[in-house]
């Protein structure tokens, strides 16, 4: 008959010092669990390593008009992945947030909804820079992204996802904004592809008079082989 306790380890500790200055280490607790990211905020390492970016329209003059129906050929605004597909592994854009803010004009009296989707085929003409009134930047302040943003690009329409929206009246003051956190269900943009987005609302009529919206994106750039 085997002993009831065949192996017992009391107060196990493990600390492996890594290279670099200051030295970093790997630890497990006395319950056998690995200590992971005990002090860092969520997304800290992506930002620290220069893989996290934000970008979008920075001037009212560059705002996009809403659409009354989901686009079939022309995307209101697109985030393009200019990373080389030949890299091993290539970099993909992992889109974590999309936002819009009312910029000018008069809004319709029935609300605004945000939609987005990744095109199922590559953009016919690759972007090599951001469009007018658009900027991108690493969240740590320095670093150049592979993601470029521009408006009114011809795309192969994706299956659009309605991301929600806000109800409002016929507003005339720049005050309304809406942000969708996609960190638990991110869009992934392979090299050469685009994530497109737009705002569903009345363009004219129902109280609306040439409203414009400023749209922005937050994304990480990660090395990944897609199946």
| pLDDT digit string, tens, across residues 114-163 | 999 999 999 999 999 999 999 999 999 999 999 999 999 999 999 999 99
The per-residue DSSP string of the chain comes to ---S-S----S--EEEE-SSSS--EEEE-TTSPBP-SSSSPTTHHHHHTT-EEEEEE-SGGGPBPPBSS--SSEEEEEEEE-S-TTSSSPEEEEEEEEEEEEEEEE--TT-EEEEEEE-SS--SS---S--TTEEEEETTS----SEEEEEEEE------EEEEEE---S--SS--EEEEE-TTS-EEE-TT-EEEEEEES-SEETTEEEEEEEEEEEEEEEE----
Q: What is the mean pLDDT of the chain?
A: 87
Q: What is the model's pTM? A: 0.83
Domain edges within the chain: 44-223
Structure confidence at residue 202 (pLDDT): 74
Whether residue 101 has pLDDT greater than 80: yes
Structure confidence at residue 11 (pLDDT): 56
Percent over 70 (pLDDT), the chain: 81
| pLDDT digit string, tens, across residues 212-223 | 999 999 999 999
| pLDDT digit string, tens, across residues 84-100 | 999 999 999 999 999 99
């Amino acid at each position: 008959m085997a002993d009831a306790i065949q192996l017992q380890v009391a107060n196990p500790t493990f600390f492996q010092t890594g290279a670099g200055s200051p030295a970093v280490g790997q630890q497990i607790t006395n319950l056998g669990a690995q200590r992971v990211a005990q002090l860092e905020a969520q997304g800290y390492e992506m930002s620290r390593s220069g893989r996290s970016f934000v970008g979008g329209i920075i001037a009212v003059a560059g705002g996009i008009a809403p659409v009354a129906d989901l686009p079939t050929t022309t995307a209101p605004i697109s985030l393009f992945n200019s990373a080389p597909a030949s890299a091993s592994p290539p970099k993909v854009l992992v889109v974590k947030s999309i936002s819009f803010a009312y910029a000018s004009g008069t809004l319709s009296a029935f609300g605004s909804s945000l939609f987005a989707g990744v095109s199922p085929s590559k953009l016919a003409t690759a972007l090599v820079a951001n469009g007018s009134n658009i900027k991108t930047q690493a969240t740590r302040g320095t670093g150049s992204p592979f993601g470029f943003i521009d408006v009114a690009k011809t795309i192969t329409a994706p299956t659009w996802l309605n991301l929600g929206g806000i109800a409002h009246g016929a507003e005339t003051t720049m005050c309304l904004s809406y942000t969708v956190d996609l960190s638990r269900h991110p869009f992934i943009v392979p090299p050469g592809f685009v994530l497109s987005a737009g705002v569903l609302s009345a363009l004219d009529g129902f109280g609306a008079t040439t409203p414009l919206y400023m749209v922005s994106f937050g994304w990480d750039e990660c090395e990944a082989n897609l199946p």
